[in-house]
Chain A
Amino acid sequence: MNDTSAKNFSEPPGYEAAKEENPRHTPSHDDGLNNESNEADRVSGEFFREVNAVMTIALRDLTKLFRDRPRLVAGLIFPIIFIGVLGGGLNASFGKVLDYDFLTFVFTGVLAQTMFTSTASGVISLVQDRENDFSRELFVAPISRYTIVIGKIAGESLVSLWQAIGVMVFGLIIGVPLTVILVLKLLPILLIISFLGGAFGILVLANLGSQRTANQIFPFLIFPQFFLAGVFNPITALPLYLSLPSKLVPLTYAVDFLRSIYFRGSPAYEEIVLFSPVADFVVIAVVSLIFLVAGTYLFARSERNR
């Protein structure tokens, strides 16, 4: 690096020897901590690095899901009870007075609800245990807080998708009309809904601080939405005092969005769907963005500002 003669004057004796021991300057030790040889391999560019981190965080959730066999099954129990028992039971008693298939109505509602709820509660696990969890490894990494949150939402969306597949298989078994084309059409809708759920989850977490309080409060925030959003009950003709809160809860638009795609072209569309798919999408996009930005900001602040 230096001219030899100059080096002799500019560096005190022993400096060269010290440098030899220091692999930061001379990569001579092959001990696995040396990255010099992999410099070309480093992820370059700020943006790509964040994307790399999002993938890393998301895939971790999926890996964990497939390693946790009880969870693989447990995720399917509630939706199946909702559709099978509630949908099937109600269909048998009230189905005759309706112009459409009530089972399909409940199926579409539960499918949307599953994506929303599962992703929301998954995101809440971001601080599973402040003191004893991998989350600290995430928070100390040199990545944006949005990257952590989006990575987590993406991961939990993939987990929810597994549940959605299970729900659809169950739907097919009990006779819900589903075609491959329809499933492919529903797939992006399901992911959009889970993004909304994830953004909702981060906002809940940011405001409730710990996972424990979040877990206690979460049912109170989610169950009323089931009924206001019309997961199991038609909401086309609600009295004003119910129709107003019904329009305020985010799940309403998620459920309506999915049904607007599912029932498209069917005679039941007019009876079931409230808004146009475009309107639903715009509401979902705007609300998700607000939840995500506010939630991430508040969450990052509550984590560090103790």
Chain B
Amino acid sequence: MEVTFRIRRFNPEIPGKNKPYWQEFTLKDVEETDRVLELLHRIKWEQDGTLTLRRACAHGICGSDAMRINGVNRLACKVLVKEFPEGKKIQVEPILGLPVLKDLVVDMEPFFAHYRQVMPYLINDSPLPANGRERLQSPEDREKFDDTTKCILCACCTTSCPSFWANGEYVGPAAIVQAHRFIFDTRDEALKERLDVLSEPNGVWRCRTIYNCTPACPRDIQVTRAIGEVKLAIQRGKREGIVVDPPKHSGQGMG
């Protein structure tokens, strides 16, 4: 079949292209199982080498190719053409809320700065087990933060969040997901410090439970639920008794 893409372009170096504009490309011989990423590659490799995007693994694990496809944040490598009505144009634009550098490439630095704010690393200064072996953790305790360990930092959630669009200082859903992963890890000892960071004005309370983040997540993380659990942990000042029935691995992707 034939598919037409409508792509948001921007090239800061070329007069006439240094303001955002739309450009259409038509591809022939498209299979319905082709992924949007493959087709963007075909445009780049066959028609216009200047088309610029990020990508790496091409199967939804590296988190490079977050973009807005028909108005929804997706990973281009996880979207198959058959999702869309035949004959309709597929619209592709950069994710919102981060400065656009060129075509579909945005400046990720503000996103990673928020990530770093929540101290995204295990803090545990207690002596290690004397037998030289692993710290113990029950399968039940491990399960409590399983969902948020799946995060690939693609920014689909944060850049779908109206609160983040309105205020770029808000740490955003992805940073809270990362914090959740440590807050509910029984091995971590910096609960108070993390909860302090997240109860700042630009922390977790900027979330208005709009729920855009959860369907945007290409890893099916229950993002809004995780944010809610962090809010509860702040209110109660502890991690115990909050995650009672953790989300099961669903494995069911959006596309």
Query: Do A and B interact?
Result: no
Q: Which A residues contact B (CB, under 8 angstroms)?
A: none
